[in-house]
Structure 1
Amino acid sequence: MSKTSTDPARSSVVLRRQALSGPGMGSRWSALFYAGGNVDEATLTRRLQGAVDRVEQQMSTWLPDSDLERLNSAPVGAWVKVPRDLTHVLAAALEIGRLSAGAFDIGVGDLVKAWGFGGGSRVPDGEGIAALAGRSLFEPPKTLQLDHTGQRARRLAPRRLDLSGIAKGYGVDELARVMTEAGMSSWLVGIDGEMRAEGMKPDGSPWTVAHEKPVPGEREILGVLELSGAAVATSGSYRHRMEVGGRMLSHTMDPFRGAPLESDLAAVTVLAETCMAADAWATALLVRGAKDGPALARRLRLSALFVRTDGEVEATWH
């Protein structure tokens, strides 16, 4: 599917709108861009697919042989050699966890499994849930240690790590890297609603991304975001839910309660320079709630949009 457009700055060059996509990270990745006729779509598609596959192979909890799962299965205290990208994401996750006072916690892997979400999960087991409920998990210095020089990591506590709140965003950043290295100056890339854009369209307008209304079972638009040189990610309690005991539970874990999040926020959308940061902060602010979330976003100068469960909207744009 494509259409042609003329670059006003270079009227002799006809640019064609091109759309590439592929499977990855439990969803699909996409790339939209305008270019002349000299783009090798097959090669670019392979490079984009390869970037997403590498992130998934390193950070997935669904692949038993992923680098993250190797770290999870290693004995507590044992150093494990990990790829540089995984080390980078783990370090970013710990820092955002620190800045959010534990609202973003990658040590919730046991909770995710106990409540029936994530790779290898089963229907929730009452005894397993009771053992985890109410346990605050955020203790970065006592949970994980990183050795950047040696590209190693080791768990310091028997807790499973889960990067589902940040890995997809990093995958989008890797798509962006491939587009830039391929010489593209204007593009929109994304994975399952996490998006990053660069440059403008040939007509001088920015890329646009629809902001969905956070209503379960519906597909309505709340508004439209304009993107250029920025990334956007949304976390919410209205998708990826599961019914347990007659209650609909969110897949987002509350690390303070040791249980699925019960929030007065329906969704949080964050704009940032990287999609990795937007992805993680959207989760962290959702966990902080309708009162503490906006306050934290203002203190850290984060651009965020908060949609309460009663439909009220609050923005902290910077």
Structure 2
Amino acid sequence: MNKYAVIFTVAALLLAGCDKLSPPPSHSQAWVAEGKTMGTFYRVTLASPPPDALVGLQEQINQVLNQDNHELSTYLQDSVLSRFNQYNGAEPQPISSAMADLVSTALRIGAKTGGAMDITVGPLVNLWGFGPDKQPVSMPTQSQIDAARARVGLGHLRLSEDVNGQWLQKDLPDLYVDLSTLGEGYATDHLAALMERRGFTRYLVSVGGAVISRGLSPQDKPWRVAIQKPTDREVDAQAIVDLQGHGISTSGSYRNYYELQGKRLSHIIDPATGRPIDHKLVSATVIATTAMEADGWDTGLMVLGTEKAKALAQQQGLAVYLITKTDRGFETWASPQFKPFIIEGLDDPREKH
């Protein structure tokens, strides 16, 4: 997974159903597994599981994450995605049904956002110094941007299925696909599916900024998560939500950036302009039935900016929470579908509906 394409984030404050921010539950009440994967961190918390039900679980968690990494990594040269990116032909290449579902979701959301969420935007991300290439010492020229944009576009990618399986095809030899925009949600859903197969009905799972839950916490209360305030100077909650068994993901422009020639440049690139976004929307959170669905929408909404993101959320009936920087401070907006999930955070007088 491209560690530079970070999806920021439902805050690192994962709440175990408490009314206020508090430490995670003790290991006497919960079983916790955590570690690194895909250039980020994962965490699995189970509420009061029977000890004998945990046999072999850590090994299976590792297997799920290793398999996802083997499919989606752009750093592993032998991953399924890396082999596809290295292939310069036009013949369809085989992929798994799970990866086909991810690509299908990306293409659908990409179309609905008018191309704002684009899994082929990698050349532009690299050009602006947020990929494996080094940070530029000067602003890219318009000709460099145009050249990179010529290698970008969802229209160059085709997903198909037949009796022999699922296939991915490109009509541009050097098209570069990066699935990290949805990868954290993809892995989160797979870990949740593992918990279901093992018979666990009370869990909170996260990979990076994508989170999903089911059932109650060790305190027999709903699992709750905090949406982080959009600042790189503190870790505090802007709002607290009860997931109610749903997935959640947040994209933000307030941490992964650098300054060049006196200008602050975000890691979120607008495919339409080929440049980092420069509007005032700083955080977009989405709640959906799966973590992957939420993970797919948040970046596209961030690219669109506040007003277009609001309009699309209302048109599509999405559960969306936006934070916008204004001259008066941060203003928040929640779609009607998001509001039932909120526990705390809408008492700010600057909130706009």
Q: Aligned residue for 1:313?
A: 332
Alpha-carbon offset, residue 135 of structure 1? 4.1
**What are the superposed Cα offsets for residues 79-120 of structure 1, whole Å, 9 maximum, x if unpaired?**
2222222221111100111111111111101111111222x3
Shift of 1:145: 1.3
Deviates more, 1:204-213 or 1:238-247: 238-247
Once the two structures are TM-superposed, the CA of residue 238 in structure 1 deviates from its matched residue by 0.8
- Deviation, structure 1 residue 262: 1.7
Contact 2:127/2:140, CA 8 A, preserved across alignment: no
* Deviation of the 1:284 alpha carbon: 0.9
Deviation for aligned residue 1:162:
1.4
The answer to whether the Cα contact below 8 Å between 2:116 and 2:270 also exists between their aligned partners in 1 is: yes
- TM-superposed CA distance for 1:197, in Å, is 0.5
* Alignment of structure 1 residues 172-191 onto 2, 5 Å: 172-191=188-207
Note the C-alpha offset of 1:45: 1.3
Counterpart of 1:154 in structure 2 is 169
Please provide the CA RMSD for this pair: 2.1
Q: Residues 136 and 284 of structure 1: is their aligned pair in 2 closer, same or farther, counting only changes over 3 Å?
A: farther
Contact 2:284/2:298 (8 A) holds in 1:
yes
In structure 1, C-alpha distance between the alignment counterparts of 2:143 and 2:152, rounded to whole Å = 18
**Structure 2 length normalisation: TM-score?**
0.81
1:270 shift after superposition: 0.4
| Equivalence for 1:252 | 268
Cα distance change of structure 1 residues 165 and 242 upon mapping to structure 2, 3 Å threshold: same
Q: Which has the higher contact order (CA 8 A, sep 6+)?
A: 2
Task: Go from structure 1 to structure 2 and tell me whether the alpha carbon gap of 1:198 and 1:136 turns closer, same or farther (over 3 Å shift).
Answer: farther
Is 1:106 the equivalent of 2:119? yes
* 1:81 corresponds to which of 94, 111, 117: 94
1:298 deviates by 0.7
Residue 213 of structure 1: how far off its partner (Å): 0.1
Q: Would the alpha carbon gap of residues 136 and 197 (structure 1) be closer, same or farther in structure 2, given more than 3 Å must change?
A: farther
Q: Is the 8 A contact 1:84 1:151 kept in 2?
A: yes
Higher mean C-alpha deviation, range 253-262 or range 149-158: 149-158
SS state at 2:135 partner = coil
1:237 aligns with 2:291: no
What is the one-letter code of the residue matched to 1:245? Q
Q: Is the 8 A contact 1:102 1:138 kept in 2?
A: no
CA pair 38-71 structure 1, distance change in 2 beyond 3 A: same
Amino acid in structure 2 at the alignment position of 1:123 = Q
Query: Which residue does 1:287 correspond to in 2?
Result: 303
SS of aligned partner of 1:148 = strand
Q: Which residue pairs with 1:9 in the alignment?
A: none
Shift of 1:239: 2.0
CA–CA distance in structure 1, aligned partners of residues 150 and 314 of structure 2: 25
- Distance in 2 of aligned mates of 1:108 and 1:270: 21
Shift of 1:263: 2.4
CA contact (8 A) 1:270 1:302 kept: yes
- Does the 8 Å contact 1:172/1:190 carry over to 2? yes
- Correspondences of 1:1-318 after superposition (within 5 Å): 2-4=26-28, 16-41=29-54, 43-118=56-131, 120-124=132-136, 130-133=143-146, 135=149, 139-140=153-154, 142-149=155-162, 150-157=165-172, 158-201=174-217, 203-310=219-326, 311-318=330-337
Q: CA deviation at 1:127?
A: 5.9
The aligned amino acid for 1:88 is D
- State the percentage of identical aligned residues: 30
CA distance in 1, matches of 2:274, 2:79: 25
Measure the CA separation in 2 of the matches of 1:47 and 1:171.
Answer: 13
Residues 138 and 304 of structure 1: is their aligned pair in 2 closer, same or farther, counting only changes over 3 Å?
farther
Structure 2, unmatched stretches of 5+, are 1-24, 338-353
Compared CA separation, residues 62 and 309, structure 1 to 2 (3 A): farther
> CA–CA distance in 1 between the matches of 2:299 and 2:55?
35
